[in-house]
Chain A
Amino acid sequence: MENSPAATRRRPALPALTLALAALLWLWMAAAIWAAFAWAPPARGFQNVVSSRILFFHVPIAWGSFVAFLAAGVWSLLFLARGRRPRHDLAAAVAVELGLVFCLLATLSGAIWSRLEWGAFWNWDPRQTSIVLALVFYAAYLALRGAVDDAETRRRLSAAYAALGLVVAPFLFFVLPRLTFSLHPEPVINAEGDVAMDSRILIVLVTASTGFTALFFWVHNLAWRLRRAGEER
Chain B
Amino acid sequence: MDASLGGGLGWLMAVNLVVWSGLFLYLLRLHRQVRAIELRPAESRPTETREIAR
> Contact mask A26-40 → B, CB, 8 Å, 1/0?
100110011011111
Is A3 an interface position by the 8 A CB rule?
no
Q: Are A37 and B12 interface neighbours, CB within 8 A?
A: yes
> Contact mask A49-82 → B, CB, 8 Å, 1/0?
0100100000000000000000000000000000
Most chain A Cβ neighbours within 10 Å, of B16, B17, B36, B50: B16
Q: Are B51 and A230 interface neighbours, CB within 8 A?
A: yes
> Which one, A9-17, A100-108, A128-136, A162-170, is touching chain B?
A9-17
Question: In chain A, residues 210-233, which have Cβ atoms closer than 8 Å to a Cβ of chain B?
Answer: 218-219, 222, 225-233
Q: Are A38 and B3 interface neighbours, CB within 8 A?
A: yes
Distance A40 CA – B13 CA, assembled complex (angstroms): 13
**Total of A-B residue pairs, C-beta within 8 Å:** 103
Is A22 an interface position by the 8 A CB rule?
yes
Our pick among A12, A33, A228 for the contact of B16 (Cβ within 8 Å) is: A33
> Contact mask B1-20 → A, CB, 8 Å, 1/0?
11101010110110011001
Is A4 an interface position by the 8 A CB rule?
no
Is A42 an interface position by the 8 A CB rule?
yes
Distance A219 CA – B24 CA, assembled complex (angstroms): 10
Q: Are A226 and B3 interface neighbours, CB within 8 A?
A: no
- Chain A positions within 8 Å of B21 at CB level: 26, 30
- Chain B positions within 8 Å of A26 at CB level: 20-21, 24
Is A180 an interface position by the 8 A CB rule?
no
Q: Are A229 and B27 interface neighbours, CB within 8 A?
A: no
Majority-rule SS of B interface residues = helix
- Chain B positions within 8 Å of A41 at CB level: 2-3
Question: In chain A, residues 168-221, which have Cβ atoms closer than 8 Å to a Cβ of chain B?
Answer: 200, 218-219
- Chain A positions within 8 Å of B17 at CB level: 30, 33-34
Q: Are B40 and A8 interface neighbours, CB within 8 A?
A: yes
- The count of chain A contact residues (Cβ–Cβ below 8 Å) is 37
Question: In chain B, residues 3-53, which have Cβ atoms closer than 8 Å to a Cβ of chain A?
Answer: 3, 5, 7, 9-10, 12-13, 16-17, 20-21, 24, 27-28, 30-40, 42-43, 45, 49-53
17 contacts between A and B (CB under 8 A): A9-B36, A9-B40, A12-B36, A13-B32, A29-B24, A30-B17, A33-B20, A34-B13, A37-B3, A38-B1, A50-B7, A225-B34, A225-B38, A227-B53, A229-B49, A233-B45, A233-B50
Q: Chain B residues in contact with chain A, CB under 8 A? A: 1-3, 5, 7, 9-10, 12-13, 16-17, 20-21, 24, 27-28, 30-40, 42-43, 45, 49-54
